[in-house]
């Protein structure tokens, strides 16, 4: 195994504190180019990345996510686990600290695919999985370039509001948000599960 690549994989962390330094557009495009080499279903490469470096827009995005989760928590206040969810949901808008936000989206299955495959259409169609692999490429490339990332799916609860703010195509659905910037922390590696507990040979 290439030891440098192994080192990058093991070194990547979810960064939640960023320095205010702007990330040059050229460097962002280098990361996107590496992301585009991810495998994709049918080689469609049908992921799409909406990038913003506007502090005002990023704040608006964080606000709609915060408002959405406050409503979800309020509407489900009688649930026994809502306290844990409320505590954790504050993480979903912390991307506001990053200087760059990349919204990764992919086309939803077409109506005929949904008719044929029902709730299995998304997994079979493969665009979301492909976009997630592109996101992983991007985050590993960011580590290589001395940048930090934080991948979030919690904000997707506010998908319609985020799509409107970012002018994302109607048929596209959000896969994740990636917060990107120069890290202002060095988190320790969390423990990993023992490989025997996540593996079996048949």
Rounding to the nearest 10 degrees, give the CA dihedral for residues 154, 156, 141, 109: 140
Tell me the per-residue pLDDT of 161-195, one tens digit each, with 9 for 90 and over. Answer: 999 999 998 899 999 999 999 999 999 999 999 99
Note the CATH number of domain 18-184: 3.40.109.10
Question: Which pLDDT score, from 0 to 100, does residue 1 have?
Answer: 60
Kind plus residue range of the DSSP H or E element containing 38? none
Mean pLDDT of all residues belonging to the chain: 93
Split at pLDDT 50, 70, 90, the class of 2 is: confident
Is the Cβ–Cβ distance between 177 and 104 less than 8 Å? yes
Query: Helices 82-89 and 55-75 sit at what angle, rounded to 10 degrees?
Result: 170
| Mean pLDDT, rounded, for 36-48 | 96
Determine if residue 54 is left, alpha or beta; phi over 0 gives left, psi from -120 to 50 gives alpha, anything else beta. Answer: beta
Domain chopping of the chain, boundaries? 18-184
Of 39-43, 74-78, 126-130, 159-163, the one with minimum mean pLDDT is: 74-78
127: left (phi > 0), else alpha (psi -120 to 50), else beta? alpha
Separation between Cα atoms, residue 77 and residue 100, nearest integer Å: 34
Give the residue-averaged pLDDT of 196-200: 96
Specify the pTM: 0.93
- Position 33 pLDDT exceeds 80: yes
Q: Is the pLDDT at 100 greater than 90, yes or no?
A: yes
């Amino acid at each position: 195994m290439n030891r440098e690549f192994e080192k990058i994989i093991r070194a990547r962390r979810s960064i939640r504190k960023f320095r205010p330094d702007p990330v040059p557009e050229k460097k962002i495009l280098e990361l996107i180019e590496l992301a585009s080499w991810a495998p994709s279903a049918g080689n469609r490469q049908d992921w799409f990345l909406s990038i913003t470096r506007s502090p005002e827009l990023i704040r608006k995005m964080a606000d709609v996510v915060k408002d959405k989760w406050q409503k979800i928590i309020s509407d489900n206040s009688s649930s026994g686990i809502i306290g844990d969810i409320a505590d954790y949901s504050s993480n979903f808008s912390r991307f506001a600290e990053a200087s760059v936000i990349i919204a990764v989206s992919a086309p939803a299955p077409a109506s005929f695919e949904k008719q044929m495959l029902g709730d299995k259409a998304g997994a079979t169609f493969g665009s979301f999985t492909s976009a997630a692999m592109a996101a992983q490429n991007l985050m590993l490339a960011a580590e290589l370039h001395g940048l930090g990332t934080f991948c979030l799916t919690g904000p997707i609860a506010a998908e319609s509001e985020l799509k409107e703010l970012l002018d994302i195509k109607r048929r596209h659905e959000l896969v994740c948000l990636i917060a990107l910037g120069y890290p202002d922390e060095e988190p320790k590696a969390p423990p990993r599960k023992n490989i025997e507990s996540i593996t079996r040979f048949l």
